[in-house]
Structure 1
């Protein structure tokens, strides 16, 4: 029980999809290779777009290097966005982020790691926060291993979004294939559209989670926030905040797998770059996040509904 009350059981570090996938060389420190996306948008044209040049110049005028995790962390909202739910890590209320001159309201949308480890006090805290709907992005085998304690009592929506679908984003950020990866994520029935549609169709008081609450939850939340008008820097800051919340898991994994420690550190350091590439590609290759979501089966009216419930 003491191990539970510190957060997530130690075995999660061994199950973390990203950590298990780290058998490739660490991400390079000096940006992506040049090239063209296979079957996708002209990457050279995307990289030469004036908007991209302005963003990179702001990141590091001298080197033109992308934003680092440290720079993005400076934009993290005050600590009261983090929720202390017993035996659950990486929990944040998205209230407080800005959206076209307004502010997202607290208690409307929360992101977290899996909820199966919550203690009774933690489960009470979920209900006390006003959560009405749970959107679970885990695959069937993950749900079977750690069932949600809220399948009865709250509205429970399973929108399986396999971890493998998001693993390619990290590599795509360096090899010029981000538009291809995003097209694959948008395939109808692939989970992304179902998850965003579930947010649109649910009453305020929503929690969305996967296993660690980082990759699958991170991309669904990021694309949703971008579609309703949350600024890029706030989206990136929220995305990389998961690394601070999961630091103990990373240390545990590195102690068990010292040969992969450099890969873990490299992935963490470049996570802000990855999300920056996602957001830039959404604009330049797809015409924006809302247009991208239409290809995943999410209608414009659903995006408007999300904005209204998170801001109104």
Structure 2
């Protein structure tokens, strides 16, 4: 795992070097994943701009989260393109308890075996435009693209899994990358507890429920295969063209 050590983020890794089905590997310096970027130090920013050559940030949080957290340091860098593609409906973030209960019931009906998998399938049903938009932003990036949400686990995990699938990464390696966030979960939760936006929700959930399970991503991708014919077919049904698939594949393979 190509972890990047930053002062202001704890779940950052370069998705280069992931083995592909044809015996090659994804290229380094093309796609990164991260938890939120609110606390980056000046040294972190210099490293991302100079060494990583970051050119695009894809933020998967809701507008409510962006407003509550305020602009991060990279938003002040003009040469970095920032794109916002929320994977949650805007009303979902601050929904009332009754609305949340209805939402959870719908998720159980969608996929009974795994609540997290059901949640991820909800992204595809409710915000397919954001999934496609995020991948287009990665494809267009002339340098490294970084995808993030709050923890860099769920929303980021889905978009990254789609990108790696297009790149031809081995399924077990996509699952392995998703589960790797578990290595940093204690540090991630500690960061989120320090934010008024997220702190109130962290300890309502048992610690083990925060840890990403490899089985969740495996089931999620299997469900996409079964119901949609695979990631490329799902993307095609939602307007991501064959030319865009080829361009994203080339971007991530080098």
Structure 2 residue runs of 5 or longer lacking an equivalent are 94-102, 194-199
Aligned to 2:6: 85
Query: Deviations along 1:113-154, whole A, 9 cap, x unmatched?
Result: 111110111111111211111111111122222313223321
Pick aligned residue for 2:37 from 87, 91, 115: 115
Asked whether the equivalents of residues 151 and 188 of structure 2 are also in contact (C-alpha less than 8 Å), the reply is no
Check if 1:309 corresponds to 2:248: no
Aligned to 2:65: 142
Aligned residues: 228
Pick aligned residue for 1:238 from 151, 163, 177: 177
Pick aligned residue for 1:217 from 132, 152, 156: 156
- Give TM-score scaled by structure 2 length: 0.77
Asked whether the equivalents of residues 188 and 296 of structure 1 are also in contact (C-alpha less than 8 Å), the reply is no
Structure 1 residue runs of 5 or longer lacking an equivalent are 1-76
Evaluate the alpha carbon distance shift between residue 175 and residue 278 of structure 1 in structure 2; reply closer, same or farther with a 3 A threshold.
closer
1:179 Cα offset (Å): 8.3
Evaluate the alpha carbon distance shift between residue 251 and residue 88 of structure 1 in structure 2; reply closer, same or farther with a 3 A threshold.
closer
* CA RMSD, 1 decimal: 3.2
CA distance in 2, matches of 1:211, 1:180: 16
Higher relative contact order (CA 8 A, sep 6+): 1
Evaluate the alpha carbon distance shift between residue 266 and residue 161 of structure 1 in structure 2; reply closer, same or farther with a 3 A threshold.
closer
Evaluate the alpha carbon distance shift between residue 121 and residue 305 of structure 1 in structure 2; reply closer, same or farther with a 3 A threshold.
same
- Give TM-score scaled by structure 1 length: 0.64
Aligned to 1:126: 48
1:175 Cα offset (Å): 5.9
1:257 Cα offset (Å): 9.1
Asked whether the equivalents of residues 108 and 204 of structure 1 are also in contact (C-alpha less than 8 Å), the reply is yes
Aligned to 2:85: 159
